[in-house]
Amino acid sequence: MIVCVCNRVSDRQIRERVQASPCALRDLRRELCVGTQCAKCLPTALDVMRESASEPNAVAISRVV
């Protein structure tokens, strides 16, 4: 599923990033450009981050967004 339409970022990309190393929303913004245009995707991106952080292979998610 595409989370960020403006930058064509999928939930899979976000999950992979969260599971690779601890990150915050600002890291997704910087690395994947999520939410850097209209920003309508930020709530969904945050939901995907939280879901990913609770998955078995996940590493810690930063509380700083």
Contact residues: ligand FES, CB under 6 A: 4-7, 34-41
Rounded Cα distance, 52 and 46, in Å = 10
Least Cβ distance, residue 28 to ligand FES (angstroms): 10
Least Cβ distance, residue 11 to ligand FES (angstroms): 12
Rg (CA), the chain: 10
Element (H, E) at 16: helix 11-20
Nearer to ligand FES, 38 or 59 (CB): 38
Nearer to ligand FES, 41 or 61 (CB): 41
* Total Cβ atoms within 10 A of residue 4: 26
